[in-house]
Amino acid sequence: DSSKAVGDQVDWQITGIDPGAGIMQATDRAIKEYGLDKWKLKQSSGAAMTAQLKRKYQQKDPIIITGWTPHWMFQKFDLKFLKDPKNVYGDAEAIHTVTRKGFKQDNPGAAKILDQFHWSQDDMGKVMLATADGKKPEEAAKEWVKKNQDKVKEWTKGAKKGNGKEVKIVYVAWDSAVASTNVIKTVLEDMGYKVTLKQVEAGPAFAGLSDGSVDAITCVWLPVTHKSYWDKYKSKLVDLGPNLKGGAKTGLVVPKYMKDVNSIEDLKA
Ligand code: PBE
């Protein structure tokens, strides 16, 4: 019933993702700063959240999610970010590649490739969309790498071959992270490195890098989304800089057919 207040329409629930995600912390802040006292942020996972979005979207039912770009959901569905006049979610961010301390000394070839890895929102979008359409992430990554050898050559320029040397990459099950992780894995393997991927929650990902049990990560969002992790662990980590600049954004997202909801302020009871 679209004549009801938006809160009543969605049971005062924002559909979130994994509790360790920075966007969940930002949404807790948004609930406080905008005075959304009646609202609850529901924990879920990236996959469960997009499945729920798909179900609601097909029925043209209302739903409010924690969303971000780059993400295939914006290609599959007509969605909009709610305006954030208090700028709780921050301005556009960059996605950084980060390694453990000492990785460059131990594995200069792989470190050079990780350092030179950078692509665009469009590039990442292609890999994500292929995966959303049913390709295995590894297959989607391999196809992109095959078609974009000009870019890959820039990343591998001047880097030593791996000869089976191991690289342990950690990531979180966010579709954007799955895309970048599988692409860099393919590139490193093509250069002769032996890559192991480890999927964990955000907290353990940063902890594993800081204690040296894993080598690298390609999905650190700065300066806002992963600030609390970064502040806690940065003295033990090495920031190789952005692998994606432009288009990295988080916030509350709704289908465009929710015409009366355009700003987080519209959620107030
Ligand atoms: N995300 C995607 C992550 C970073 C990448 C926005 C869901 C997060 O909120 O931590």
Residue ranges in the chain assigned as alpha helix (H):
6-9, 22-33, 46-58, 73-76, 103-106, 108-116, 121-132, 137-147, 149-156, 175-190, 202-210, 227-233
For residues 251 and 243, give the distance between their C-alpha atoms in angstroms, rounded to a whole number. Answer: 21
Q: Say yes or no: 244 and 166 in one domain.
A: yes
**Single pTM value for the model:** 0.96
Provide φ and ψ at 10, rounded to 5°. Answer: -115, 20
Positive/negative CA dihedral, 12, 18, 20, 22: negative
Q: Say yes or no: 76 and 101 in one domain.
A: no
Ligand 1 center from residue 112 Cα (angstroms)? 25
Residues of the chain with pLDDT under 50: none
Q: Say yes or no: 85 and 192 in one domain.
A: no
The whole domain housing 259 covers 6-91+250-267
CB atoms within 10 A of CB 150: 7
What CATH number is associated with residue 205?
3.10.105.10
**78-101 pLDDT, tens per residue?**
999 999 999 999 998 999 999 999
What confidence score (pLDDT) does residue 2 get? 59
Q: Which atom of ligand 1 is nearest to the CA of 226?
A: 10
Q: Say yes or no: 195 and 208 in one domain.
A: yes
Q: Say yes or no: 175 and 258 in one domain.
A: no
Q: Is residue 211 part of a domain?
A: yes
Residue 180: which of 144, 205, 146, 147 has the closest Cα?
A: 144
Q: What is the largest CA-CA distance in the chain?
A: 64
Q: Which atom of ligand 1 is nearest to the CA of 68?
A: 6
Q: Is the minimum distance from the CB of 22 to ligand 1 under 6 angstroms?
A: yes
Q: Is the minimum distance from the CB of 44 to ligand 1 under 6 angstroms?
A: no
Ligand 1 center from residue 61 Cα (angstroms)? 25
Q: Is residue 1 part of a domain?
A: no
Total tally of structural domains belonging to the chain: 2
Q: Which atom of ligand 1 is nearest to the CA of 219?
A: 5
CA distances from 252 to 23, 55, 156, 238, 262 (A): 9, 18, 37, 31, 10
Ligand 1 center from residue 21 Cα (angstroms)? 5
Residue 65: which of 134, 239, 74 has the closest Cα?
A: 74
What confidence score (pLDDT) does residue 269 get? 75
How does DSSP classify residue 41?
A: E
CB atoms within 10 A of CB 198: 15
Q: Say yes or no: 111 and 236 in one domain.
A: yes
Q: Say yes or no: 112 and 235 in one domain.
A: yes
Residue 79: which of 251, 266, 267 has the closest Cα?
A: 251
Q: Say yes or no: 114 and 166 in one domain.
A: yes
Q: Say yes or no: 30 and 104 in one domain.
A: no
What confidence score (pLDDT) does residue 5 get? 87
3-state helix, strand, coil in the chain (%, to 5): 45, 25, 35
Q: Say yes or no: 125 and 87 in one domain.
A: no
SS (H, E, C) 174-189: CHHHHHHHHHHHHHHH
Mean pLDDT of the chain, nearest integer: 97
What confidence score (pLDDT) does residue 1 get? 56
